[in-house]
Chain A
């Protein structure tokens, strides 16, 4: 068995009895520790059952099964009638009624409504349409990297990969696509950090009332939406917000709740996921200098390199499904109401599917990862956009910041849902 030397995954590993995926501290462990746990679960307890984490203000439900094998994950993902999203896809607990206004979007919806709503924006995210925005993506990346160099010049060569490179790129891209003006970007970033904080104490100050912070973040983004929506109804443009407020589904406009939650979903999903792919892609290249040299020298591997970064980082760790009926999947019996967390991060290292799964190989081909989700109607809407952003970002990084060096340990987000970095210190050694 081939094993990544850096991760040391060949040895021992954790005891099954000690594993608790609901322990929030587990999620700030470095990736090699988390993957050792996934390896153990996948091999020995592929439908491991866990009690739900306690979150103030939310009812603790019956618990969940952690799906870690690719074959099970894809079977569940591709049977949306049996394993629905409508009970909640992005939280272990069901969404409380007062948060539904902001977070009850199509990601937590089932067909046919899901498909009808998704089609309003799907055109914008097709490869053909994205051809038209690739130049603007490049312009944004160039600007951000120039600004990152200036930041380093003003700080003895020091910069933060997250704040200065990885966060502003997808934030600016999605805000431009939505028509959100530049002066609102900081507020969008702050609100989406709270929404996807996973309760990280650095982002949720009042640990006794995490839902209040979520509610406030929703209000902030909905406020931006309401102002923009009024402007777009008056003067339509070709942006996504115009599509949301003017398109009819089944002869009707979307409701206020549907527009608000859709707007929030696009903004948050559009900037958090790609950020974490970029920041941890940069970290992976730093850990694997031979891969970095290879990619720098050979743009023809852009396509496979981007897929490997998504597989390797798996920016979204899981999505939830809930059984709508009793049944059996690959020998596992379940009953209606059972919750399943589909651990994409685990399936993306499944040795049944990937040769040497813990080896970072930018030329890996085929690479049938589930970093954008498994088969099924909820496959990532922004996959083509994310690929573009990642490809352009790394190509420009090699051009504009070829001397970028990691200069410290990453600060990891304490979230089971988002595999995120809060900070990643770096330097440009030639800059003083």
Chain B
């Protein structure tokens, strides 16, 4: 099972992840990234991997 990890020091709330996996990632009203369920379902994993790749500040990672 993969787990989404967010480096809060790096995240600037760009929303690149939200564009690719809107069910999993949301930048809230404070500009802070909220992850809905840190362990993505199998059907979501592809989008989440794309989101990890797309993060402009490399703030996202997937841990086993």
Residues of A within 8 A of B (CB): 78, 111, 114-115, 118-123, 125-128, 372-373, 375-377, 379, 381, 383-384
Contact = CB atoms under 8 A, between A and B. Distances in A.
A303 to B, nearest CB: 10
Contacts of A125: 15
B19 A119 contact: no
18 contacts: A115-B12, A118-B13, A119-B30, A120-B31, A122-B31, A123-B13, A123-B28, A123-B31, A125-B15, A126-B18, A126-B26, A126-B27, A127-B19, A128-B27, A375-B58, A376-B57, A379-B12, A379-B14
Contact of B56 (A111, A115, A127, A379): A379
Given A376-B56, A379-B56, A119 B14 contact: no
B29 interface: yes
B10 interface: yes
Interface string B1-43: 0000000011011111011001000111111100000000000
B31 A119 contact: yes
A78 B12 contact: no
Contacts of A384: 15, 19
Contacts of A122: 12-15, 27, 31
A122 B9 CA distance: 15
Given A122-B14, A383-B14, 18 more contacts: A118-B13, A119-B13, A121-B31, A122-B31, A123-B29, A123-B30, A126-B13, A126-B15, A126-B26, A128-B15, A128-B27, A375-B57, A377-B10, A377-B12, A377-B57, A379-B57, A381-B14, A384-B15
Contact of B31 (A118, A379, A383): A118
Nearest to A130: B15
Nearest to A126: B15
B47 to A, nearest CB: 13
A234 to B, nearest CB: 22
A128 B22 CA distance: 8
Nearest to A125: B15
B10 A123 contact: no
Given A123-B27, A126-B27, A373 B56 contact: yes
Contacts of A126: 13, 15, 18, 26-27
A372 B55 CA distance: 13
Interface residues of B, number: 20
Chain A CB within 10 A, most for which of B30, B57, B58: B57
Leading 5 A-B pairs by shortest Cβ distance = A119-B31, A379-B56, A126-B15, A122-B13, A122-B31
Nearest to B31: A119
A78 B9 CA distance: 13
Chain B CB within 10 A, most for which of A120, A122, A379, A383: A122
A269 to B, nearest CB: 15
B18 to A, nearest CB: 5
A372 B14 CA distance: 12
B12 A118 contact: yes
A129 to B, nearest CB: 8
Contacts of B56: 372-373, 375-376, 379
Nearest to A372: B56
Given A127-B19, A377-B10, A119 B57 contact: no
A127 B22 contact: yes
B2 to A, nearest CB: 22
Nearest to B27: A126
Nearest to B32: A119
A126 B56 CA distance: 14
A111 B7 CA distance: 14
A287 B4 CA distance: 45
A67 B32 CA distance: 33
Contacts of B15: 122, 125-128, 384
B14 A128 contact: no
B26 to A, nearest CB: 7
A127 B26 CA distance: 9
A119 B14 CA distance: 9
Contacts of B22: 127-128
B15 to A, nearest CB: 3
Contacts of A383: 14, 16
A384 B56 CA distance: 13
Nearest to B19: A127
Contacts of A78: 58
A363 to B, nearest CB: 18
Contacts of A377: 10, 12, 57
A283 B10 CA distance: 38
B12 to A, nearest CB: 5
